[in-house]
Structures are given as C-alpha cells and as structure tokens.
Structure 1
Amino acid sequence: MTAVTESAPAATRRAPEPELDPEGASKTQRITVFFFVLIPLLALVAAVPFAWGWGLTWTDIIIGAVFYVIGGLGITVGFHRHFTHGSFKANRPLRIALAIAGSMAIEGSVIKWVADHRRHHKYADHEGDPHSPWRFGDDWRSVAKGLFYAHMAWMFLSEEKTSPKRFAPDLLKDKDVLRVDRMFIPLVLFSLFAPAAIGGLVTMSWWGAFTAFFWAGLVRVALLHHVTWSVNSICHTIGEENFEVRDRSRNVWWLAVPSFGESWHNLHHADPTCARHGVLKGQVDISARTIWIFEKLGWATKVRWPNTERLAAKRVSV
C-alpha cells in the first residue's frame, strides 16, 4: 500500500471485494478470528483456576473490575464519543474527568488517540486508514496478517504518522485537554501502580500488592487493550451489517458488553456522531446508558441521540 503523507493524502478508494466465494470467505475469516483472538483469551481463563486462592483473589478481581470500567468508559464515552465525534457536550469537570479516565486505559494520550481515530473514519478501509485489516488482501493468509496489523501491529510498524494539527486542531487549543495530554506518563504510572497500593493496603501484605499489580494492573490493561483493538480488527472483518456503510464495519454481539457497546460498529460508521451505537432491539450499549445518566445529572448536554428517520434511511433491507 502506498504510504500516506499528511501534506498530500492519498485518494480514497473502495477496498477490494473478496475474490472467494462469499460464504467460504466468511467462514475462513471467522476461523482466523477464532485462532487469533479467542484461543489466547481461553488460555488466560484456563489459568484462573490454577492461580485462584494463592495468586488470584476476589480483592484482585474487584480492584481490576473497577479500574477496567473507569478506563474503558474513559475510552468509549470520553476519547471516542465525546472528544472524537462530539456526540455530546460535557461540562468542564466531566470533560477533564473523561480525559483523565481515558488516559488511564494506557492506549495513548487523548490528543493522539483522537487524531488517529478521526483519520480512521476519514479513510475507513480505504487507502490512508491507519488500521484496516484489508490492506493485504482477502485470502486467509492476508486476513490473518491484516488482523494482526489492524489489532496492534500498526502502532509499531506503520510509518504513516497522524498529524494532530490536521486531525485534532480543536483539542490542541483546549488548555484543559493539553494539560491532561502532557500528564499521560504520570497517569500511566498511577493506572499501573494504584491497584498494587490498594491491594497491599487491603491485605496488609506485599503479596497482596504484587497479585493486585499483576491481575488488576497488567492483566486488566492487557484485556482492555485487546477488547479495544478488537473493534479495529474483528469488527472490520466479521459480523452483521444492519446499516449501509462505505466500509467493512460490522456488528459483533459477543464483544458488546466488554467493549461497553463499541462493537455495534456498523451503526457507528453509518452515523458516527450518534451517542448510541446499539440502536436495535437487544443491542446492549453501556456507554450510551452512561451518557444518559450524565445527561440526567446535567453534566452532559446537546446529546445526539438516534434519529428514527435517519436510521431508517440507512437500514439494510432484509
């Protein structure tokens, strides 16, 4: 793929359609996703019984869950729906809190994260998208390579750097956001070591501090990272298309709860500024419910809730 420069972005083009039989291609992609994502996750789950009682306790799980929710909602409600797409207006305390919470997910500083994601939407699954899984082709080897690239390798291997001046000029002018952006390293250290401090104080032991650091610090961050990255990779590879889009964004139901509703990705690409991604019956969207609570408390205003007519116009016929 031709490199993209910020001064002269490459023209977008439709991603190549699969040359394989659609049913066979879909089955191959699902199998590839299974081996790429689910097997390592199952290995982690299998390790839990062996560690339970001596290397993992309810204290570690509770601390990890609290930090997972803080960081996860900081990304989905804060970095994504608020800062990137302007799905709602937040008062100053909430805006600062969301920037801090999202930074604690350790997925990059707020300005860098927003710039990369806005660029993704501009070129979604076309030339210029920083993490499309379709950049190498449609056969199973290319899909596997593309999944790895879209999932995490793009952050280390891509030479196409996103310009914050081009994609996030509004945040560069926001003094509060700039301060939080510059505090990224201290926030990373807090996110990693605060669980250890809490675990040590609760158990009054160094061992309790260590297990909390491992499970509520390292494992929690790794799990949240892979869930977030799965939206980039899996949700652009397999799943359902309920709304018409110009890319390959899809809905993946089994990622909905751990991603706080982000895996209803097809609707998001059909209507990026909508505050709710799970708009159909049975589509759980924890982030949207959180925004609703903020609105009821008066902390969030001008929320862009789904428009029935707009959604109907984009609905895929069945």
Structure 2
Amino acid sequence: MQPSSSAPNVRFVTTTASGPAPLLGERRTVAQQLVLKVFLLVPFAALIAAVPLAWGWGLSWLDIVLAVSMYVIATLGVTVGYHRYFTHGAFKANRPVRIALGIAGSFAVQGSVIFWVASHRRHHAYADREGDPHSPWLFGTSPGALLKGFWHAHMGWMFSRDVTNYERFAPDLLRDDDLRVVSKLFGVWTAASLALPALLGGLISWSWWGALTAFFWAGLVRVAFLHHVTWSVNSVCHMIGSRPFASRDRAANFWPLAILSMGESWHNSHHADPTCARHGVLRGQIDISARTIWIFEKLGWAWDVRWPTAERLARRRTN
C-alpha cells in the first residue's frame, strides 16, 4: 500500500514472536563490498587530486557553478529529505515531494534512502552505545581508542559487511511502493549524479574538455567533499563542540560546519529533540535546511511542520 501525503512513521522498532527483530539484516556480498569501496574511494582519490589540479589549470567558473548547484541539491536531499523527513518525520509532504526528496538524496551517493534511514534510526536508538553503527566512543577514551573511534565513525563503519535490519528500523519505508522503487534504482541515481554535470558541462561549453572537467569537479570531487562533510557530523560532532541541551549521548554543536552541512552540525540540538524540523534553534545559528522546509511550507509543499517552541527548548536546556 502506498502511503501518500503523510510523514513517515517513526515508530520503527518491530517485534517478532521471539522478541525485537535483530539489529542486522543480510550481510553484503563480496561483489557489493567491491562496488561500495569503488564509490567511496574513487571520489576520495579525486578530492585528493583536486588540490594540484586546481593550481593553475583544469577548473573553470562553469565547473564551480555546476559543483555548487549539485552540492546544494544533493545536500538538501539528504538533510531535508533523508534525515528530517524520512528518518524523523519532522513534516508531512505529498507524493511528488516525497519522490523528489528521495531522488535528490540519492544524488549524494550515500546509499539508498531505505539504507540511510535504517542506519540513522539505529544510530539514534543506540547513540554512542553498543549497537550504534558509527559512534566514535565504542573503543574507549584513550588517545589511541579515540583515534580508532574517529576513523570508525567518519568512514570506517561503511566498510563493514554488516547492514542494519530494514524490517526493524525502516518498515514504513518498505511499505511505501514509491520509495522501494527509488531505493532499487539507487545505482541509476548515482550514475545520473555523476553524468548530469558532465552532460551540462559539455553542452554549455560545447567541448569534450568541458564535459571532462565538469565530471571531475561537479561529479567526483563534489561527491567526495559532500561525503566528508556528512561523515564529519558522525565523527567530529560526537567528539567536540558545545552541548547546551540535554541528550543521552555525546552529540555536540560544531559551528564551523553549519553552512556546509546546511544546519546538520547543530547536532546536540538535534539529538535533544530529534523530530524537530529546525536544528539551529538558538539565535545566530544558521540552518539552511530549516529555511528550505519553511519555504516548502509557504509553497504548500510541506505541512504539520514540527517547529521548535520556547517551552520545549526550555525543558531541554542545560544552562
């Protein structure tokens, strides 16, 4: 049955006759692990190569415009779509918006919408405890343990063959016909995320060189840069920063990432009130994702938005 015009159901833990469903689902095959490593490491290699390549040649204003445009679309697809809407149900939306957000989030090349939501819901259920897929605190508090934990939280966890159980943590998305199709076509959206900048770069510059540089900068480098911004929310924002709100984990607000993450780095505020549509809830905290949701609401694309209230904030303040 296809649920339309509604927010995802965030009551995600299912039970069986023998108790709660297991945390993990089917393990990745060797072939899937190989594909995963390619899509993680090739953009990363491109990001490393970007520094010498940018020094004097190979980067045009067209590449920059395309890279920024694709970055904004993909990042908002993750922050507004994958995270605040599909994972936490911070607002309601109609069917076209649901599908568009699912596709836009896929452009970030961080996994299908069902994979991403299941993993993130598990993160909240076990934040910074055993069972959290990407906590930096799982190995102890010594310098060596924290270094290992940082690597694990930042990107190491994704190289594991273990996959979060979809039936337990994303049963609502599995029941959604549209989202099952969007998830199944994740490979198509990944290819489009890399091919679209190349196509536009080639057509606008009317040259193969324009297509190649756009593929490199607005495709590979943009994907890798977005990866590391998102992964920094998992790693950096659970290690350093301010904690003005009470939460049962070590999530922290880290202001230097606020703009690049579109407001996701106000992580302590988010963990204190996960279903809230705004993460930057204090004065001066820039939250581009929340502003985007506000625009959606004004256009009638979103409703029943869970905005913060003074009473809810006061109950969670620690200072």
TM-score, normalising length: structure 1: 0.85
Percent identity of paired positions between Structure 1 and Structure 2: 62
Cα distance in 1 for residues equivalent to 2:48 and 2:257: 18
Specify whether residues 8 and 66 from structure 1 end up closer, same or farther in structure 2 by C-alpha distance, changes over 3 A only.
closer
Q: Does 1:59 align with 2:62?
A: yes
- In 1, are the aligned partners of 2:22 and 2:165 still within 8 Å (CA)? no
* Unmatched tracts of structure 2, length 5 or more: 1-19, 25-44
Aligned to 1:80: 83
Q: How far did 1:250 drift?
A: 0.1
Q: How far did 1:310 drift?
A: 1.2
Q: How far did 1:43 drift?
A: 7.1
The residue type paired with residue 268 of structure 1 is: H
- 1:152-173 deviation per Cα after TM superposition (whole angstroms, max 9, x unaligned): 11011363x2111110000111
The residue type paired with residue 118 of structure 1 is: R
Q: How does 1:169-318 map to 2 (within 5 A)?
A: 169-317=171-319
Aligned to 2:42: none
Count how many residue pairs are aligned between Structure 1 and Structure 2.
281
Q: What RMSD over aligned residues (CA atoms) do the two structures have, in Å? A: 2.0
Aligned to 1:92: 95
From 142, 147, 152, the equivalent of 1:144 is: 147
* Unmatched tracts of structure 1, length 5 or more: 1-5, 11-39
Cα distance in 2 for residues equivalent to 1:165 and 1:128: 16
Cα distance in 1 for residues equivalent to 2:218 and 2:312: 42
Cα distance in 1 for residues equivalent to 2:273 and 2:280: 11
- In 1, are the aligned partners of 2:50 and 2:221 still within 8 Å (CA)? no
1:76 match: secondary structure: helix
- 1:252-290 deviation per Cα after TM superposition (whole angstroms, max 9, x unaligned): 000000000000000100000000000001100000000
Aligned to 1:22: none
- In 1, are the aligned partners of 2:173 and 2:180 still within 8 Å (CA)? yes
1:138 match: secondary structure: coil
2:131 match: secondary structure: coil
- 1:221-243 deviation per Cα after TM superposition (whole angstroms, max 9, x unaligned): 00000000110000001000010
Aligned to 2:124: 121
The residue type paired with residue 84 of structure 1 is: T
Cα distance in 2 for residues equivalent to 1:315 and 1:305: 17
Cα distance in 1 for residues equivalent to 2:132 and 2:54: 41
Q: How far did 1:144 drift?
A: 1.1
The residue type paired with residue 121 of structure 2 is: R
From 121, 131, 135, the equivalent of 2:138 is: 135
- In 1, are the aligned partners of 2:202 and 2:208 still within 8 Å (CA)? yes
From 111, 114, 130, the equivalent of 2:114 is: 111
Aligned to 2:41: none
Aligned to 1:36: none
- In 1, are the aligned partners of 2:229 and 2:260 still within 8 Å (CA)? yes
- In 1, are the aligned partners of 2:23 and 2:164 still within 8 Å (CA)? no
